[in-house]
Amino acid sequence: MSNKITALAHSNLALIKYWGNHDAKLRMPLNDSLSMTLDALTTETTVEFDSALENDEVVVGGEPADEKTFTRVAEQLARIRQLAKIETRARTHSRNNFPSAAGLASSASAFAALTLAGTRAAGLELDERALSVLARQGSGSAARSIPGGFVEWLAATNVTSTSDQSYARQLMPPEAWALRDVIALVSADAKKVGSTEGHALAHTSPFLGERISRLPMRYHRVRRELLAKNLKGMGADIEAEALELHMLAMTSRPPIFYWTPETVRVMDAVRAWRAEGLEAYYTLDAGPNAHILVQASDAAELAQRLRALEGVRAVLSSAPGGGARVIETHLF
């Protein structure tokens, strides 16, 4: 079999966050999460199974992958081989359309693209749900980069829940709401503590139980306001959710600090601009960059203000994006 396939997937921004697993090996999360797929941030991945190969080959951004990345990709290829009942090794090349040094490097778009290209190259035709389940095992948030638009990922936390019940599905298509994620890049450093490690440490925070017991109410409010396309209605919950993720990180043992002084400066500015009438709300992932949600009509104004802030190195703006898809242009 020599079937070369290339897939493109977008990154996603969580409005309700994934933080902590109840089954770390399968990446079954502790809670449901909600996200917006990001049109502006993409990964393209080409996969080809080749019987002449003795080992998997993994190239990222034109360079051989480091050991950690290689292992994670090879594990995902092994899951694909198991499903397809083949032994053949694969050549895998991928590239992001954003500089990985910007601290935006996202495993979500990478594992979604790898899962789609890899399964097709192996001769499998999985439906969206099965792709999401498989992508999830490579990187949890990748489950949410399989569907497009506004997405929910069901945790499936009952004692009887099985892996195939934890998948992401579309809540609203990308064109349903002209929302923008305006990203303030404040740091070019690669993050110090990866998300995988962060998820494992979540269990050491004394506040995890409190979060998990209260989260369903917030989840349903944000989901309802999202479907109503009411930014104001979900804004306070989105900011509280981001702060809670960071509170869990900061109270883990050992603690993890993802913020920098610049992050706090952006958060303060967003609050001040909101008081003046600019309807904008921030959220943060496991890194120092701030993501600010605004209506499309306010995005240019917000970007201009952010660029003038001390410590902001660059500003990107993203519309809601589509789902993972096969494309015709190969990387090799």
* List of residues contacting ligand DP6 (CB under 6 A): 14, 17-18, 27, 33, 107, 139-141, 195-196, 199, 285-286
Give the nearest distance from C-beta 2 to ligand DP6 in angstroms. 30
CB-based contact 60:72 (threshold 8 Å): no
Q: Are 124 and 118 within 8 A, CB to CB?
A: no
Query: Judging by beta carbons within 10 Å of its beta carbon (0-12, 13-18, 19+), is residue 200 exposed, middle or buried?
Result: middle
| Choice between 27 and 180, CB closer to ligand DP6 | 27
**Residue closer to ligand DP6 (CB basis): 35 or 119:** 35
Kindly state the smallest distance separating residue 168's Cβ from ligand DP6, in Å: 11
Residue type, 177: W
Residues 6 or more apart whose Cβ sits within 8 Å of residue 152: 32, 33, 34, 35, 168, 169, 171, 223
Rounded CA separation 95/98 (Å): 9
Please list, in sequence order, all residues whose beta carbon lies within 8 angstroms of the beta carbon of residue 23, skipping any fewer than 6 positions away.
163
Count the neighbouring beta carbons within 10 Å of the beta carbon of residue 9. 33
Can you name the residues that pair with 320 across neighbouring β-strands?
38
Closest distance of CB 140 from ligand DP6, Å: 3
Task: Tell me how far, at minimum, the Cβ of 57 lies from ligand DP6, in Å.
Answer: 22
Q: How far is the CB of 107 from ligand DP6 (least distance, A)?
A: 5
10 Å CB burial of residue 16 (0-12, 13-18, 19+) is buried
Closest to ligand DP6 by CB, 72 or 93:
72
Nearer to ligand DP6, 44 or 241 (CB): 241
Q: Which is nearer to ligand DP6, 18 or 282 (CB)?
A: 18
| Identity of the residue, 77 or 88, whose beta carbon is nearer to ligand DP6 in the bound complex | 77
Residue closer to ligand DP6, measured from CB, 196 or 295: 196
CB of 123 to ligand DP6, least distance (A): 27
Smallest distance, Å, CB 138 to ligand DP6?
Answer: 7
Q: How far apart are alpha carbons 283 and 192 in whole angstroms? A: 19
